[in-house]
Chain A
Amino acid sequence: MSRIGVFTCHCGENIGATVDCVKVAEMCKDIPGVVHSVEYKYMCSDPGQRQMQEAIKEHKLDGVVVAACSPRMHEPTFRRAAGDAGINPYMCEMANLREHCSWVHEKGEATTQKAADLIRVLVEKVKHNEPLHPIKVPVTRTAMVIGGGVGGIQVALDIANGGHKVVLVEKSPSIGGHMSQLSETFPTLDCSQCILTPRMVEAAQHPNITLMTYSEVEKVDGFIGNFKVTVRKKARKLDEHLCTGCGLCIQKCPNKKISDEFNEGLGTRTAIYVPFPQAVPNKPVIDTLNCTYYKTGKCKVCEKMCPTNAIRFDQEDELVTLDIGAIVLATGFKLMKTDAFPEYGYGKHKDIIDGMQFERLASASGPTSGVMKRPSDGRSPETVVFIACSGSRDRAKGVPYCSKICCMYTAKHAMLYKHKVHSGKAYVFYMDIRAAGKDYDEFVRRAIEEDEVKYIRGRVSKIYEEDGKLIVMGADTLMGGEPVVIKADMVVLATAVQSNDRSEELAQTLHVSYDSYGFFAEAHPKLRPVETNTAGIFLAGACQAPRDIPETVAQASGAAAKVVGLFSNEELTREPIVAVVNRQAAPVYSTCVGCFICQGACPYQAIEQEEIMARSGEVIMTLARINPGLCQGCGTCVATCRTKAIDLQGFSNEQLYAELMTL
């Protein structure tokens, strides 16, 4: 027979004003199994807790029901107190008399009765409680950061500086990401490369960081603290250890007319190339799609020229499997292209460019060495129109959200243009100016007031070409929608920020959730912004939502802190509220029939197939097994199980039936 104690709390007036707590405590004494029942003004206070602990010892209680506030509020408090008094903490349960009774009902007999009923239900549950023990999971203290942009670099550096190993995986040949392509950065106009490249070099040289550039994550198995990640190292077609980065191969490569991705198609590169001179690592890659050797079987000029014989035409992709304790996703974004705009000429006008192309035009390291030349004929553009919200906040284009960074970079672009072409006219068409950030609005006002950029509120409806000019047709909604026509030499579209290519595929590989636009979902929009719903996988930067550099770096440091926190323990302790498949001795083994409906239902991929073997080694049956490291205790598998073979520890079917049957 159970020896259960009931402790009813007044919670000051919160419960006491509507529920007759003294009467409830009296009523509880009659519940079978209850040997002790008292009430107190504040059970959560020190004297309250001590009263409970003394009662546990004095009356030799084996279970406790605290009738007070929500378990969300004080369950850890009372379980700790019960544990300290010598009983298993999971033998302590809370009846929620505040949120479920006193706060939602009038004072009266029925309310008091309901309070007693709530306690009776929980007493029945405690009778069926089993002592539970926290789950311990070992932790591999190596982190993987996916994406080598400014966010990924920051995460890697912060974790590495915390004393843990980091593997930084980047799909392109160099780390640096979008930031390495930018000319200058808002709101301070400091040179993007000048502040980024030292970080890139620091990451490459850090003893705790392993760079894996030109590599992509193929497969992720395991769970928090114990991931197994398979990475595809794409063949650079050269031996990285032998290559010194002298660049002779690049100079001699005869195939020089390939559109340059780093310059957003505004320049050309060779078939063997480094994306940009400051690339890290500074080792070239052969673009096999455009290399003459791979197309015709002849050439090999680079191989002949290489002073260290580093070229390997027969090199294959390599698959590497790594033990990883935590993963940070920092895969960034992509920009919508100008061809997505029928009304702006489907991208067929060379002088209608996107924001990133403008960055390359304005960059000292760009194809024009920072001199303003329009792409079509190289003339200096005298009138430039910038169009904010190109594709953003546009349901028709499938992007109803605000891309967040365009207001600022458009102001920056217009400003940079005016600094480079003093006599030029810059017009910005905008819908709203969203410049929320330190010194951001001041920056936009500076563009308007000091650099005399003309801001016109309204969307541009059409652009067409006439006599070498781009005719931009807009309207000024601040003048009652009066039509505005501007004859421009160049138009810059601040196109929408979108989730990166293959982000959904990556999310599925990692089992993290993503929104309908392909951005990875955070665990809680306010309180858990850098965590995903999958334990041990974190987020940084624009892979979650459009972000600017300061926000990305801040979030990156936040994610790094989470990883370092996780790595501060050798073992992880988790709540034992997980599902288990019942197991029995032979010849029954389990009521599980191995239908694996639960496996498909589990949102956390926590259910695996386990083979039961006879002594002879023959497989007798295949049963479901739940990995306690991955299980989040949601109970979906319990509901789907056809043979009731699965129970959620602490919320077993037996316990729930007992609760219901007592009512």
Chain B
Amino acid sequence: MNSGSHHDHHEDTLAWRIQQATGVKLAHCYQCGKCAAGCPVADQMDLPPCQVFRMLQYGLPEYDKRVLESEGIWLCLACETCSTRCPQEVEIPKVMDFIRGEALRLNLAHPRSRDILAFHRAFLDSIEYTGRLYEVGLVADYKVRSRHFLKDVMLAPKMYVKGKLGLLPHLIKNRRGMKHLFKHTIGKG
């Protein structure tokens, strides 16, 4: 660790926890804005990625809270356009992921995160049980989790006609292996 380890006051900052968990040092970001410039959802975000980083660099509780409560961190698709292009090689999606976890842990997550989280969970359920994406299962799962029962329902017949919605899941061969994988990763966390 660098001279940062001298600073006990740093340990309760989000920046410190990010560095411990992901190895990403926020001081590496020099605020060029290339991440925000290329981000496909930055225009929807309340805090674009560079602003998230700027706030975290301060290490002040009020800024940490603003980041944890922001909606933008939930909109990040983890497409990695930002980190691919980042001149300082900062792994931004990794940081975003960690912050989302922290927001949930501290009960500070933005209200809109519920739907996004529901989708993530439904998606993972589908993978866990079928080994691949099972659209109908995913949609059903998501609707149950998010309670948006009627939203976009009218799209279903059209998609069915075009063969986009298989009624039965396609299963992979080694489903036990997949279960095993989940047990040793997500199950552990």
Chain A residues near B (Cβ < 8 Å):
418, 422-423, 445, 448-452, 454, 457, 476, 478-479
Min distance, Cβ B93 to any Cβ of chain A, angstroms: 21
Q: Which residue of B lies closest to A449 (CB)?
A: B27
Binds A, one of B51-59, B69-77, B97-105, B164-172: B51-59
Q: Is the CB of B3 within 8 A of A450?
A: yes
A457 vs B5: C-alpha distance in the bound complex, in angstroms? 25
* Complex contacts, B6 vs chain A, CB 8 Å: 422-423
* Complex contacts, A451 vs chain B, CB 8 Å: 2-3
A448 vs B4: C-alpha distance in the bound complex, in angstroms? 11
Q: Is the CB of A449 within 8 A of B25?
A: yes
Indicate the member of A418, A449, A457 with the most B CB atoms within 10 Å. Answer: A449
Q: Is the CB of A452 within 8 A of B27?
A: yes
Q: Is the CB of B3 within 8 A of A422?
A: yes
B interface, how many residues as a size bin?
Answer: 10 to 19
Whether A452 contacts B4 in the complex (CB less than 8 A), given A457-B31, A478-B31, comes out as yes
Q: Which residue of B lies closest to A444 (CB)?
A: B30
Q: Which residue of A lies closest to B57 (CB)?
A: A454
Q: Is the CB of B27 within 8 A of A418?
A: no
B28, CB-defined interface residue at 8 Å: yes
The 9 nearest A-B residue pairs measured at CB:
A422-B6, A449-B27, A450-B2, A478-B31, A478-B54, A448-B27, A452-B4, A479-B54, A449-B28
B173, CB-defined interface residue at 8 Å: no
A-B contact list, 20 entries, CB within 8 Å: A422-B3, A422-B6, A423-B7, A445-B30, A448-B27, A448-B30, A449-B2, A449-B27, A449-B28, A450-B2, A450-B3, A451-B2, A451-B3, A452-B2, A452-B7, A454-B57, A454-B58, A478-B50, A478-B54, A479-B55
Min distance, Cβ B180 to any Cβ of chain A, angstroms: 41
The number of A-B residue pairs with CB atoms under 8 Å apart is: 32
* Complex contacts, A448 vs chain B, CB 8 Å: 27, 30
A635 vs B2: C-alpha distance in the bound complex, in angstroms? 67
Indicate the member of A448, A450, A452, A478 with the most B CB atoms within 10 Å. Answer: A452
Q: Which residue of A lies closest to B47 (CB)?
A: A479
A448 vs B88: C-alpha distance in the bound complex, in angstroms? 13
* Complex contacts, A449 vs chain B, CB 8 Å: 2, 25, 27-28
A479 vs B7: C-alpha distance in the bound complex, in angstroms? 25
Q: Could you list 12 further interchain pairs (A-B, Cβ under 8 angstroms) beyond the known A479-B51, A479-B55?
A: A418-B3, A423-B6, A423-B7, A448-B30, A449-B2, A450-B2, A451-B3, A452-B2, A452-B4, A452-B27, A457-B31, A476-B54
A450 vs B7: C-alpha distance in the bound complex, in angstroms? 13
A476 vs B30: C-alpha distance in the bound complex, in angstroms? 14
* Complex contacts, A454 vs chain B, CB 8 Å: 57-58
Q: Which residue of B lies closest to A484 (CB)?
A: B58
Min distance, Cβ B67 to any Cβ of chain A, angstroms: 12
Min distance, Cβ A258 to any Cβ of chain B, angstroms: 39
- The residue that A452 contacts in the complex, of B3, B8, B54, B55, with Cβ under 8 A, is B3
* Complex contacts, B55 vs chain A, CB 8 Å: 479
Within 8 A of A (CB), among B19-42: 25, 27-28, 30-31
A449 vs B57: C-alpha distance in the bound complex, in angstroms? 11
A449 vs B1: C-alpha distance in the bound complex, in angstroms? 12
Min distance, Cβ A456 to any Cβ of chain B, angstroms: 9
A454 vs B25: C-alpha distance in the bound complex, in angstroms? 13
* Complex contacts, B27 vs chain A, CB 8 Å: 448-449, 452
* Complex contacts, B4 vs chain A, CB 8 Å: 452
A478 vs B48: C-alpha distance in the bound complex, in angstroms? 12
Q: Which residue of A lies closest to B27 (CB)?
A: A449
| Mask: chain B, 123-167; 1 = CB below 8 Å from A; 0 = not | 000000000000000000000000000000000000000000000
Min distance, Cβ B10 to any Cβ of chain A, angstroms: 8
* Complex contacts, B30 vs chain A, CB 8 Å: 445, 448
Indicate the member of B2, B3, B6, B27 with the most A CB atoms within 10 Å. Answer: B27
* Complex contacts, B25 vs chain A, CB 8 Å: 449
* Complex contacts, B31 vs chain A, CB 8 Å: 457, 478
A476 vs B63: C-alpha distance in the bound complex, in angstroms? 13
Min distance, Cβ B71 to any Cβ of chain A, angstroms: 17
* Complex contacts, A418 vs chain B, CB 8 Å: 3
A452 vs B19: C-alpha distance in the bound complex, in angstroms? 13
Q: Which residue of B lies closest to A450 (CB)?
A: B2
A422 vs B5: C-alpha distance in the bound complex, in angstroms? 10
| Mask: chain B, 77-116; 1 = CB below 8 Å from A; 0 = not | 0000000000000000000000000000000000000000
A457 vs B55: C-alpha distance in the bound complex, in angstroms? 13
Indicate the member of B2, B25, B30 with the most A CB atoms within 10 Å. Answer: B30
* Complex contacts, B58 vs chain A, CB 8 Å: 454
A476 vs B8: C-alpha distance in the bound complex, in angstroms? 25
Q: Which residue of A lies closest to B31 (CB)?
A: A478
A457 vs B29: C-alpha distance in the bound complex, in angstroms? 14
* Complex contacts, A478 vs chain B, CB 8 Å: 31, 50, 54
Q: Which residue of B lies closest to A476 (CB)?
A: B54
Indicate the member of A448, A450, A476, A479 with the most B CB atoms within 10 Å. Answer: A479
Q: Which residue of A lies closest to B2 (CB)?
A: A450
Q: Which residue of B lies closest to A451 (CB)?
A: B3
A449 vs B29: C-alpha distance in the bound complex, in angstroms? 9
Q: Which residue of B lies closest to A418 (CB)?
A: B3
